[in-house]
Structure 1
Amino acid sequence: MIAMQYSFTMPADYDMSIIDRRIRDKGPLLDGFPNLGFKAYLSARKGEFGSRDNLYAPFYLWQKPEGVSDFLCGPAFQTLAGAFGWPQVRTWIVWHAEVSGDIAAARFATRDNLQMEPYAPLDDIRQVDSTEAEADVRAGSALASVCGFEPTTWTRVRFRLWREIPVSGEHVQAYRVGHLSLPRA
């Protein structure tokens, strides 16, 4: 599995209802996209939940690498890049992804990017992060939980989908979920 996110920072005075409308209109187009675990259409408004910026920042969980490739080479991404510019696309190798049967009820998301110390015990970190991801969903506190790492910059990601916005730390970016694209049943 691969996790992926790109983000567009909008001006402070940007009318975020434009992003809301785009999510509402374009979101369903990726419902059932091949090899997609889920796509969370995310936005954040400056000052809300501690966000420093207005953001449009979709997060994806891909079941297979072909899904990433097909999406990035396809017309949906080409249209997006034409509207907002060519973003830096961040990817992470997924250590663990836990998804609740109630994922469609997600209204909020949090993402934490963490730097790893040089020569950190990767297997130990993977085990701890995977256990936490599984526990968050099994306890019912999160509707989905993804953890992974990126070995070029040696960073980790912790991504969660929530019914209600949780209290989060200073390093955590919180978002509203405008739409959730899921695999076809």
Structure 2
Amino acid sequence: MHAMQYDITLPADYDMGIIRDRVATRGHLLDDFPGLGIKAYLMRERADGSPVNQYAPFYLWASAAGMNSFLWGPGFQGIVNDFGRPVVQHWTVLAYDEGPAAASAPRTATRTRRPVPARLDPAEAVERSLERHLIEAKTDGVVARAVAVDPRHWELLTFTLWADEGAAEPNADRFQVLHLSAPGRTGIAPGRQW
């Protein structure tokens, strides 16, 4: 499974209602997209205390074929046409679990990105993240949670969907969830992805 995200940072005075309207009119188009586990349509804005106005969709792809179909098809081309070509970040998913609020619609999401220090054995860093993941996925309010790694940049990522405002996480980026497309969510195997 692959995690993918692109951050589109917008001007400080950008009307974020444009992003809300975009998601309201187009979000449903991926509600049955083949190979997609989850797409969370995320936004954060300066008016809510964010350092930036940003549209930052986050994906969990159940298959590489689905991800490729999106990136090289009309879906991603719409982003390129409207905002230019963003950097597409991607990670290999290490674990995914549903939380106690799995039946709820997510309202917020948090994302943390941490480097794996060069002095630390990468396998040990992954194990520590997986141990934390198992505990944190059981936190009240968690809809779903994933942990992933980018071995090119040695970065660990955690992504959590919350039914409410969610727990305070140090150094986490917090987003509003405008819509959730989840055509393959029930097919995502829980736990470690190997």
Same-fold call, TM cutoff 0.5: yes
- CA, structure 1 residues 58+103, in 2 after alignment: closer, same or farther (shift >3 Å)? farther
Q: Deviations over 1:24-66 (max 9, x none)?
A: 1111100121111100000001152x42000000000011111
**C-alpha separation between the residues in 2 aligned to 1:76 and 1:130?**
32
Aligned partners of 2:135, 2:65: CA distance in 1, in Å? 29
- The question of whether the paired residues in 1 share the 8 Å contact of 2:12 and 2:52 is answered with yes
Partner of 2:80: 81
What does 1:1-185 correspond to in 2, within 5 Å? 1-48=1-48, 50-100=49-99, 102=102, 104-169=104-169, 171-183=171-183
Unmatched segments (≥5 aa) in structure 1: none
Contact kept? 1:103, 1:144, Cα under 8 Å: no
Matches of 1:121 and 1:52, distance apart in 2? 33
* Cα distance in 1, alignment partners of residues 98 and 161 from structure 2: 9
TM (normalized to structure 1)? 0.92
User: What secondary structure sits across from 2:14 in the alignment?
Assistant: coil
Partner SS for 1:157: strand
SS of the residue 1:80 aligns to: helix
3-state secondary structure, aligned to 1:105? coil
**2: CA distance between counterparts of 1:169 and 1:89?**
24
Equivalent residues of 2:142, 2:166 under 8 A apart? no
After superposition, the Cα gap between the structure-2 partners of 1:73 and 1:29, relative to the gap in structure 1 and judged at 3 Å, is: same
Does the residue aligned with 2:46 lie in a helix, a strand or coil? Answer: coil
Query: How far apart, CA to CA, are the structure 1 residues paired with 2:50 and 2:103?
Result: 24
Percent identical: 36
CA distance in 1, matches of 2:52, 2:104: 26
Q: Residues 104 and 82 (structure 1 numbering): CA distance in 2 closer, same or farther, change over 3 Å? A: farther
Could you tell me whether the CA contact under 8 Å between 2:104 and 2:163 is conserved in 1?
no
Once the two structures are overlaid, the 10-residue window that deviates more, 115-124 or 128-137, is: 128-137
Q: Distance in 2 between matches of 1:135 and 1:39?
A: 24
Between 60-69 and 130-139, the greater mean CA deviation after superposition: 130-139
Whether the 8 Å CA contact 1:114–1:155 is kept in 2: the answer is yes
1:140–1:169 CA distance, 2 compared to 1 (3 A): closer
- Secondary structure of the 1:28 match is helix
Paired residues, number: 184
Distance 1:59 1:153 in 2: 19
- Deviation digits for residues 45-96 of structure 1 (CA, Å, limit 9, x no counterpart): 1152x42000000000011111111110110111111001100000001111
Q: Tell me the alpha carbon deviations over residues 89-126 of structure 1, each in whole angstroms, 9 at most, x when there is no partner.
A: 00001111113472551000000111110142222222
Tell me how far apart the structure 2 counterparts of residues 120 and 35 of structure 1 sit (CA, whole Å). 34
Kindly report structure 1 stretches of 4+ aligned residues shifted beyond 4 Å: none
TM-score, normalised to structure 2, is 0.88
Alpha carbons 2:141, 2:164 under 8 Å: kept: no
Q: CA deviation at 1:135?
A: 2.8
